[in-house]
Structures are given as C-alpha cells and as structure tokens.
Amino acid sequence: MEPKGSKQTSRKVVIGTVHGTIEGDLQISPTLRTLDFLNRNATSFVSIHKARSAGSRWHFGSDQVILNASTITWVAEVEAQAAGSARPLNRSAVRLRFEEFEVTGFIHIPLEGNLLERLKGENKTFIALTSASMIGPQAELATAFLAVNRLHAFTAEIIGEDDSSSEMELMAEEVGQP
C-alpha cells in the first residue's frame, strides 16, 4: 500500500477474477507501475473505486469495494501507461492457459534470463505481458498491457523466438507513441 498522504491518481482497469469481471479505478501513485502495485498487494485486499461488475453475478451498491487480490486472474489497463526501462531486454511470445481462457503476448526478460525458468522461479505473483490478447468462452480482449496472476495459469509455452529490444521502445510502439 502507498503511504497515507502520498499523491495518487486514478488508473482505469478491467479486472478478471475467478468470480467475474469488475471495471473501476485503482488509486495508484503516478510513479508506480500497475504491475508493481499488484505484486505489493497480492496477498491482501485491493480497493477498486467506481466499481462496476461486468460479467459477474455480483452487483455493487457503493462507490468503493475491496477485492481479495488472490482471486484476481488478470488486470488490463484501459489506457496503457507508458513505462519502460532503458536496459535491453529480450521479449518472447508466450501462451498461458487458464481454466477458462488463454492469453498470448510478450514477456520481457533480461538478456541473460530464461523465460521458462523465470516463470517457475519468479517470486512475484503477477507477471506482465505486452501486446496481449485473451480468448475465452465469454470474452475476447486485446490490450497493450495485461498483468496475469501466474498462480492461476496451468500451462505456459514459448510460441515465438526471443527478440532483443529496448522495453521502452517496445512499449512506445505498443501504446502508439513515436
């Protein structure tokens, strides 16, 4: 959680949970990436402001709800935040399968890293995919950024070769910036 008194901004998100989909705003420090926020709060409750249930049997009657983060399977930013690193990274096209949907996209790893070893040994609950698409029985989604809860994935496979690039350049391409 962010310290009290710190400046926060609203970040519009769509959140897929094991019980349905929720749209709303996360209150996050402007300097914090959504992925880092999720990983900091992966074992607690996350506040969603202006929450609306979408594709869920639950309906919310207040402006704010708190959501058990362990039930989150994916989070998409409605407007992807421009972020990145100047250090060179490999990106690998991957396919992750969950109980009722599959996700394809790119995972970025350090040049010396191994993607499958990273997925097995990662100490973070949520992993980021760029240029991601999700297909399931009740929804399809394409987004520049998607955070997925790797604990809910049951298979992962590399479907494309590594491509050494700067993550900053790739994110700028994916969110349509020059």
- How many angstroms separate the first and last alpha carbons of the chain? 33
Q: What is the tens place of the pLDDT at every residue in 7-46?
A: 888 899 999 988 888 899 999 998 899 999 999 999 899 9
Amino acid identity of residue 121, one-letter, is G
Amino acid identity of residue 162, one-letter, is D
pLDDT band at 58 (very low <50, low <70, confident <90, very high): confident
- Classify residue 66 by its DSSP letter: E
Classify the phi-psi angles of 66: left when phi > 0, otherwise alpha if psi is within -120 to 50, otherwise beta: beta
Higher-pLDDT residue of 82 and 80 is 80
Cα–Cα distances (Å) from 135 to 49, 97, 103, 126, in that order, read 27, 10, 7, 19
pLDDT at 169 over 80: no
Cβ contact 89:108 at 8 Å: yes
The distance from CA 50 to its chain's CA centroid, rounded to whole angstroms, is 19
Which domains, ranges and CATH numbers included, belong to the chain?
9-77 (2.30.30.100), 88-174 (2.30.30.100)
Task: Give the whole-angstrom CA distance, residue 70 versus residue 77.
Answer: 18
Q: What is the pLDDT of residue 165?
A: 46
Residue identified by tokens 């760029």 is 130
- Classify residue 81 by its DSSP letter: P
Q: Which residues pair with 127 in a beta bridge?
A: 148
Q: What is the tens place of the pLDDT at every residue in 85-138?
A: 556 778 889 999 999 899 999 988 877 777 777 777 667 899 999 999 999 887
Listed as own residue / partner, the contacts of 90-93 with beta carbons closer than 8 Å and 24 or more positions apart are 90/115, 90/162, 90/163, 90/164, 90/165, 91/130, 91/162, 91/163, 91/165, 91/167, 91/170, 92/158, 92/160, 92/161, 92/162, 92/163, 93/158, 93/159, 93/160, 93/161
Closest to 147 (Cα-Cα) out of 100, 96, 89: 96
Weakest-pLDDT range from 69-73, 77-81, 85-89: 85-89
Higher-pLDDT residue of 80 and 141 is 141
Average model confidence (pLDDT) across the chain: 80
